[in-house]
Structure 1
Amino acid sequence: MPSSLETEAADYVVVGGGTAGSVIASRLTEDPDVTVTVIEGGPTDIDRPDVLTLRRWLGLLGGDLDYDYPTVPQPRGNSHIRHSRARVLGGCSSHNTLISFKPLPSDWDEWAGAGAEGWDAASMDPYFDRLRNNIVAVDEQDRNAIARDFVDAAQAALGVPRVEGFNKKPFHEGVGFFDLAYHPENNKRSSASVAYLHPHIEAGDRPNLRILLETWAYKLELDGTRATGVHIRTEDGEERLVRARREVIVCAGAVDTPRLLMHSGIGPKRDLEALGIAAVHDLPGIGENLLDHPESVIVWETNGPIPENSAMDSDAGLFVRRDPESGGPDLMFHFYQIPFTDNPERLGYEKPEHGVSMTPNIPKPRSRGRLYLTSADPAVKPALDFRYFTDEDDYDGNTLVDGIKLAREIARTEPLAGWLKREVCPGPEVTSDEEISAYARHVAHTVYHPAGTCRIGAADDELAVVDPELRIRGLEGIRIADASVFPTIPAVNPMIGVLMVGEKCAELLASGPKDEGDVR
């Protein structure tokens, strides 16, 4: 091996400068004696108003900062869903709506019940208080009049409580304006990169932190069962190896983390060998347990234009608990101050000039999918088969049917009813459960929450990929810290959960032995 490759090394190599990776890199380099190299596939978000202005989030989907993963055909759902994954520093926290929910106690306790010892709600709660992001309620200046009336109508129609601050205490149901990770005075994101990396990049006070931008990690370097580095390719095609003296931390997300592992020969042996990839470590759980929050949409034309003030066009939402035995909400709605008709238009529905949408969402879906490779070429995108609406009892499909019905109840209730001219899609003539289900499933879309493909679990769980210390089973010197470790999906937006995973991972690394396996 050329000596120049030997000298390019850091104590820790973080693959992915996204939501968790930004946290880990920042926390580890608080110790001036620790060196960290971050490998980020996208460009910087600094001086990028198209990224940093939260109100412009919708324009990022499908653009040059989006990896844009297709799904395989979905017999019971929408086969045209594109899964946005951000190609920019800060990852999906630089790309999403920054709706910010601390996972509910029932979410964390579900993890502990699945074998993630030490990840129960009581253990995880302190990590929320450590977050550096500016998490605040939607500011008064951004509270659109029709969104206010949606909140009032939902409360009147369904009898749910009004919530001011969803993160103040656990909830089972309620309606109100979201908490967002943003700065209301200028609508600037408080993403992972803004909160954890920008201060040090701008001040130049972390010489022990190196960030390689527009650099793709395509394979891990292994010495037996120990990860010792990462093979990278730059934008100009240069390839080299970055060595990790202590550990590699993979934070590439629920799509690209299993993708990188499998192209490194780590994964289901039979599948890898069928593609001609030498299997060096058989882990059948990699790529399994693919989770998401699917949702449908119902659209109304309004009686003319609505006010334009908004943080990001979907500032209020509703949670409902239909089953009193459920640990948390089992139906959720985003209220969009725009007519969200991308998928209905494919079926022939029109887009009104002025309109609003409600999107019934499944907080705890029961369908499980799978991610897998179709080629030995690392540049070929993996296949994402979410298997939407395939659970045995059709719980997911029935949840959307209930959601469309409840949305109509809210729309008939003042003060929201006075804004609405007509239901555009599916239309008032669609009334039977069968008709509603067919519509809701075939216009279903995603809120871009893939998770679960390298799940955490107990030692006797054959499909668990990481242990409660986030270490890959059977390997040394490598951990995973991103949404792929989720054994189950939280009932709420997962970004804050990923930030908390990053905080916990950084603590695990900092508190661990410094000399074990050190390959300096």
Structure 2
Amino acid sequence: MAPIYIFQYLIISLCVQAFGVFVYIVYYTDFLLPTQVLESKVYDYIIVGSGTAGSLIAHRLATETNYTFVVIEAGGASNPLYEIPILGPMLHGSPYDWQYETIPQENACLAMEGNKCKLTQGKIFGGSAKLNNMIHIRGNISHYVNWFHGAHSESYIRQQFDFIEDNIIQLNKLRFTSQLSDYILEAAKELGYEELNNEYKIGFGKPLVSQINGKRWATSDNVKQKHVLINTVVEKLLFKKNRCYGIQLVNKKLFARKGVILSAGAFNSPKILQLSGVGPAKLLQSLEIQLVQELPVGKNLQDHIGTGLDLVLFNYSLSINAFNFFNALHVYNYFSQGKGPLTTTGCEVVGFVSTKSDTQPDIELMVLPVGISADRGSHLRNILRINDEVWNNYFAKLFDKHASTILALILHTKSKGEVYIKSKNPYIPPLIDPKYFTDGEDVKILVTAVKMIKEFIQTEKMKSFGAYLNEIPFPGCEGHKFFSDSYLECYIRHLTLSVFHPIGTCSMGLPDNKNSVVDTSFKVIGLDNLYVVDASVLPTLPSSNINAAIAMMASVFFDSQIKRKNIGQCHKRQRCFINYLSKDMCLKGDILLHCV
């Protein structure tokens, strides 16, 4: 390694380590502080998990009902510095990340240590929305209608999106992009693609992001701290016959009058259910856990996976790089105006394309202006667990170039995995086997998608910008002709990447379907007072980043299962009058009422 790159590595590593020390100090200071004193042991609703779904439900409970509730969060509180978008990846692998990983994969993740892919999930007040790319895209509305098996119309779901986008979620355009984004959009036009809107269709565009004044924003920002118990692990749910009446914490129990709402995510919601006796009978019996309800909890795991890191090269640096954070002007612009490179989400353009000449896309392309070689191996390589051979013989050879990524993701994987506990101890991580690429069709689609990336690089617009293809043979694939189908299959199976969109492990469906864990009202089948509302209930992957779909589902749950039950309940000392025009209408019998 040349001296200049060693110097860069040392400088970046020093800054990474300094921020890491800061993170640990903040985390353990909060962790060691006296825990919040609960107002009660009994609440109308207990929400387990403060991610997008849990926090949205909590916010609407606080602002639209008189119900009492508490949010239980296993992770720590956030910090103003964590809201700087460019620092999002710095929390990956930190105490604010569950630091989950797959079990060794036979058909994928071959470039990673132990053939295990990293599965980042937020362990922080706000959940994974505090670590993600902040992208908000509705996706294909018709898919959501299918999830509910006709219980809700397309018009109703659009209304839900309209409501949360207008009243709950903070959405804004990107406040900074590199030169690459405009060239990509021009290249997309050159290839015949249209501009993308906020919904589902083939095309390219700059996404809306959940930011406010350039700062990361999450639904948890709407929730008051008094309603949240942080650094608190739920050990199990409490049942009396088929009714869930509360939760077990490390040294206390909390009780729910109307419902326990699991919103702990696609890995932790099934884990908590299984620890509580809800899941596959054979698994629970092997761990001597009393069976409460046999359901396919943990099955049907799906994820958006792809490839393409550092595949686009330039002979000069773009306006965003690993050293932006050290620029005093950029720091000033962020804190004074909420602008500049520090506001970057990491993804500047998204595109939806079809590998089958269809009107429905099966691939998402995410344009990332900086590759993982940019930090010289100080952090990004470690959070992905890239092994030494691949790093030294591929990524480390790019230090004299500016590497960017057009990440190709398969939208609807046919390969499905599972999540299951391996112990009765709630502090031991679950085993996660996504079974990536066990269905060969997934590989074929990604092979075509990587060829599409090459088409982009070879457009006149991209060539005029100085872009060219990284032609270093990928370690382990040297025996194949470069960029042949067999080479690309080898490349994909080695450089397998999750964008951390796991879903499906507590799938929604009709009660008589053998794959269903919750019904279309989000209630766990066969059990009362227990609901699951998070990414785990999505039976299939959305045709977009998943955060918008999760927020919509949480809003549907609130309206259909909580607000409807609260209808007709006015605040004390209030009277109800007939009023068909008010936004605050409630229903009592067949008469619309308004509380005043």
Q: Which of the five TM-score ranges fits, normalised by the shorter chain?
A: 0.7 to 0.9
User: What is the distance in 2 between the residues matched to 1:228 and 1:296?
Assistant: 45
Q: Is the 8 A contact 2:139 2:200 kept in 1?
A: no
1:68 paired residue number: 99
The residue that corresponds to 1:369 in the other structure is 417
Aligned positions of 1:235-274 closer than 5 A: 239-274=251-286
Mapped to 2, the partners of 1:5 and 1:332 lie a distance apart of: 45
Contact 1:349 1:424 in 2 (8 A): no
Residue identity opposite 1:172 in structure 2: K
How far residue 162 of structure 1 moved from its aligned partner, in angstroms, is 2.4
Q: Choose from 126, 138, 154 the match for 1:102.
A: 138
Q: For residues 485-500 of structure 1, what are the structure 2 equivalents within 5 Å? A: 485-500=537-552
Please name the residue that 1:286 is paired with. Answer: 297
User: Could you say which residue in structure 2 is the equivalent of 1:383?
Assistant: 431
1:130 match: 163
Name which of structure 1's ranges 170-179 and 286-295 shifts more when overlaid on structure 2. Answer: 170-179
Matching residue of 2:591 = none
Q: Which runs of 5 or more residues in structure 1 are unaligned?
A: 202-208, 234-238, 516-520
1:502, distance to aligned residue in structure 2 (A):
1.2
Q: Give the equivalent residue in structure 2 for 1:404.
A: 450
Task: Give distance in 2, aligned partners of 1:102 and 1:407.
Answer: 24
User: Is 1:300–1:425's contact at 8 Å kept on the other side of the alignment?
Assistant: no
Equivalent-residue separation in structure 2 for 1:377 and 1:133 (angstroms): 36
Aligned match for 1:214, one of 231, 251, 262: 231
Instruction: Indicate if the aligned counterparts of 2:86 and 2:345 stay in contact, CA closer than 8 A.
Output: yes
Q: Secondary structure of 2:235's partner?
A: strand
Instruction: State the match for 1:452 in structure 2.
Output: 504
Give, in whole Å, the separation in 2 of the partners of 1:7 and 1:171.
Answer: 45
Deviation at 1:49, TM superposition (A): 2.9
Identical counterparts, % of pairs = 27
Q: Which moved more, 1:413-422 or 1:377-386?
A: 413-422
Indicate if the aligned counterparts of 1:98 and 1:182 stay in contact, CA closer than 8 A: yes
Structure 2 residue 71 is matched with structure 1 residue 24: no
Instruction: Report how far residue 325 of structure 1 moved.
Output: 4.7
The answer to whether the Cα contact below 8 Å between 2:509 and 2:516 also exists between their aligned partners in 1 is: yes
Please, which of 76, 98, 117 is the counterpart of residue 43 of structure 1? 76
Aligned counterpart in structure 1 of residue 147 of structure 2, from 106, 111, 134: 111
Pair 1:434-2:468 in alignment = no
Answer yes or no: is the 8 Å Cα contact 1:300–1:424 preserved in 2.
no
Which of 110, 114, 121 is matched with 1:85 structurally? 121
Q: Which residue matches 2:208? A: 179
Does the C-alpha gap of structure 1 residues 422 and 399 become closer, same or farther in structure 2, counting only changes over 3 Å? Answer: closer
Alpha-carbon distance between aligned partners in 2 of 1:458 and 1:286, rounded to the nearest angstrom: 15
Mapped partners of 1:172, 1:128: distance in 2: 17
C-alpha separation in 1, matches of 2:510 and 2:45: 26
Match runs of 1:461-480 below 5 Å: 461-480=513-532
State how far apart, in whole Å, the 1-side matches of 2:349 and 2:96 are. Answer: 27
Higher mean C-alpha displacement, 461-470 vs 305-314: 305-314
Q: Does 1:226 align with 2:255?
A: no
Question: In the alignment, which residue of structure 2 is the partner of 1:420?
Answer: 467
| TM-score under structure 1 length normalisation | 0.87
Structure 2 CA distance, aligned partners of 1:345 and 1:304? 27
Unaligned runs of 5+ in 2: 1-36, 110-114, 321-339, 374-380, 568-596
- Which residue identity is paired with 1:42? G
- SS class of match (1:502): helix
Alignment partner, residue 88 of structure 2: 57
Alignment deviations for residues 59-114 of structure 1 (CA, whole Å, 9 cap, x no partner): 111111000111012111113211111011111111111111113123213424xx
Q: Which residue of structure 2 aligns with residue 518 of structure 1?
A: none
Partner of 1:236: none
What is the SS of the residue equivalent to 1:332? strand
2:289 to 246, 256, 277: 277
Task: Find the partner of 2:365 among 333, 345, 349.
Answer: 333
Deviation at 1:383, TM superposition (A): 0.8
- Tell me the distance in 2 between the aligned counterparts of 1:335 and 1:286: 35
The residue type equivalent to 2:484 in the other structure is S
Residues in 2 aligned to 1:420 and 1:322: alpha-carbon distance in whole angstroms: 23
- Distance in 2 of aligned mates of 1:476 and 1:512: 17
- CA distance 1:176–1:6, change in 2 (3 Å): closer
Q: Distance in 2 between matches of 1:276 and 1:50?
A: 44
- List per-residue Cα deviations over 1:144-181 (Å, max 9, x = no partner): 1112112211321x311123xx31xx442111211111
Measured after TM superposition, the shift of residue 454 of structure 1 is 0.4
- Equivalent residues in 2 for 1:495-514, closer than 5 Å: 495-513=547-565
1:10 paired to 2:37: no
The alignment yields a C-alpha RMSD, in angstroms, of 2.2
Conserved in 1, the CA contact under 8 Å of 2:457 and 2:469? no
Judge conservation of contact 1:303–1:421 (CA < 8 Å) in 2: no
Task: Tell me the secondary structure at the aligned position of residue 500 of structure 1.
Answer: helix
Deviations 1:420-464 (A, max 9, x none): 355155579622101111111210110000000000101220120
Alpha-carbon distance between aligned partners in 1 of 2:469 and 2:355, rounded to the nearest angstrom? 27
Q: Which amino acid aligns with 1:240?
A: K
Q: Aligned partner of 1:173: which letter?
A: I
8 A contact 1:20–1:498 mirrored in 2: yes
Residues 1:433 and 1:12: Cα distance change in structure 2 (over 3 Å): same
Cα 1:282/1:387, change in 2 over 3 Å = same
Q: Compute the displacement of 1:121 (Å).
A: 2.8
C-alpha distance in structure 2 between counterparts of 1:334 and 1:441, whole Å: 19
CA distance in 2, matches of 1:64, 1:221: 28
Instruction: Determine if contact 1:40/1:212 at 8 Å carries over to the other structure.
Output: yes
Give the corresponding residue for 1:143: 177
Which 10-residue stretch deviates more, 424-433 or 309-318?
424-433
Cα deviation code 1:324-379 (max 9, x no counterpart): 556x3111111111113546665231242321111111011111111111122211
| Post-superposition offset of 1:267 | 0.6
Which protein has the bigger strand share?
1
Matched, 1:350 2:382: no
SS in 1 for 2:257: strand
Query: Are the structure 2 counterparts of residues 313 and 414 from structure 1 closer, same or farther at C-alpha, using a change threshold of 3 Å?
Result: farther
| AA of the residue aligned to 2:467 | L
Correspondence list, 1:192-211, <5 A? 192-194=219-221, 196-197=222-223, 200-201=224-225, 210-211=227-228
CA distance in 2, matches of 1:247, 1:468: 16
